[in-house]
Structure 1
């Protein structure tokens, strides 16, 4: 099955009446509620998806910011969206599919066979001259049922060991990977042994995915070739799904570490590395000050000590 659909093909499907469910998954860290943006203008018939509450379960502690919803919760959501067994589902956003990819991945994990991302998102739809509609969309209820298990996942222990047997990719912005900034989580830096691979680097200037051969070249530079075990993480399992999608477009299977940095950084028993290099896993944990991280300059990969944390925090306070 194709992972992507372009604006013209989607418009043709909608015009011809082919069974297609369009989901509007607008979300970002700065603006997690995309309801008003959806109401102001969306692809005709597109149903708004609440990423925080329909694509995640916030009743789970210790599993990161966006742990998986239960099968029952996702089933209820899919039926609200009007998804029926066998439907083609198209997901979109206004962020180069970096939030829509969470829906793509989760629906695939739940057993949906034909889920595609609108390449270039809403910007591509508008650029092609296709119309938008306003207001809310309430479709006829669907009958689909979620059954998890179709996509590979790893837990926190597997993520810790992964660099010893494969390539672990960090899909966050490079500055967060290096530990220079951390806008939301308690510690800055990256999982020791992980390689920086910002999800946005898989997109062109128009927010479309790079061609498969270009993506293969990108990932080859990170040490990934045929048969290399690959896993990806991000802040909370959202943009890492975009990384998994980019890898799939390149013909590479990859697992998703769902807890991602929001789980790892909250566990003081887990080590943290800073700087531009992947380095190697270390045995003991060190606490890192998020506030101090904002003022840091890039440095070679190393573990930050608790003594340094205290000194830097005091210096920053002054």
Structure 2
């Protein structure tokens, strides 16, 4: 395996017996991920539900607040996550849901988590083995650590970040359309790097050098403070993951736009 946050399908296929695999298939408004999982998944992969296991209910913290730590711990144990065993996470959303699981596991202390580059689509297209039905996994021993390893910013700190990145589509960033949240626009001073900019034409992450150049163009480099947000706090982790692959440390604003607009006194910018 490489030292970065990504792993190829061939690398995963060669190490299936030595890693814990999590299936985090999710698409807002799409079919239930569990049904997709049972229809076919990476052998041995346990299904993880984004709404149930990787987020708390919607509220002042946004549409997908960070999950209660103990509930997250129990969900990861049910999925077989162990502290001494590498974890590989995948989805069928070009890594956007998988990045959320990657971020949470890293944040809470797991030392070795990777995202499957290309996800389920690449796994199937490249002819790797597929298992059906509900996976049977041995309960893990993952424990949420007290020392949080991934930086976080909250609403009170967001305007002080040197480079604040909005991971949403450009038209949502500009406030031209808002299909999900009640208010259109973006956090003042933010710059737009949509998650699609992290990927090549095949839905794989671009090279570290290409990713570094993408973020350097908006001022995000290995120096200075950088944070990312999106609509609900999920897909922003995709930008955080891409920056990690490029050697740039970025914080996550978990509340993101849906949390920002719960307080009408907070400023909104368009254009």
For normalisation by structure 1, the TM-score amounts to 0.82
Partner of 2:43: 44
| 1:1-318 equivalent positions in 2, closer than 5 A | 1-14=3-16, 17-18=17-18, 20-31=19-30, 33-58=32-57, 61-147=59-145, 149-162=148-161, 166-275=162-271
Q: CA deviation at 1:37?
A: 1.2
Instruction: Return the offset for 1:30.
Output: 2.0
How much does 1:229 deviate? Answer: 1.2
For 2:93 and 2:102, the matched residues in 1 are separated by 14
In 1, Cα distance between equivalents of 2:96 and 2:254 = 15
Q: Which runs of 5+ in 2 are unaligned?
A: none
Shift of 1:124: 1.4
Contact 1:32 1:52 in 2 (8 A): no
Which secondary structure does the structure 2 equivalent of 1:10 belong to? helix
User: Counterparts of 1:173 and 1:33 in 2: how far apart (Å)?
Assistant: 24
Q: Say if 2:222 and 2:249, in contact at 8 Å, map to a contact too.
A: no
SS at match of 1:153: coil
Larger radius of gyration: 1
- CA shift for structure 1 position 160: 2.6
Query: Over aligned residues, Cα RMSD in angstroms?
Result: 1.3
SS of 2:252's equivalent? strand
The answer to which structure, 1 or 2, has the higher relative contact order (CA under 8 A, 6+ apart) is 2
Contact 2:100–2:234 (CA<8 Å) still a contact in 1?
yes
Equivalent residue of 1:270, what SS? coil
Could you give the per-residue CA deviations for residues 67-98 of structure 1, whole angstroms, max 9, x where no partner exists?
A: 11122111100110011121100000011101
- Once residues 270 and 178 of structure 1 are traced to their aligned partners in structure 2, the CA distance between those partners, rounded to angstroms, is 17
- Runs of 4+ aligned structure 1 residues displaced above 3 Å come to none
Residues 88 and 115 in structure 1, CA contact (< 8 A), matched pair in contact too: yes
- Deviation string, structure 1 residues 154-174 (Cα, Å, up to 9, x no partner): 000111332xxx100000111
Q: Number of aligned pairs?
A: 268
Shift of 1:32: 7.0
On the 8 A contact 1:231/1:256 being kept in 2, the answer is yes
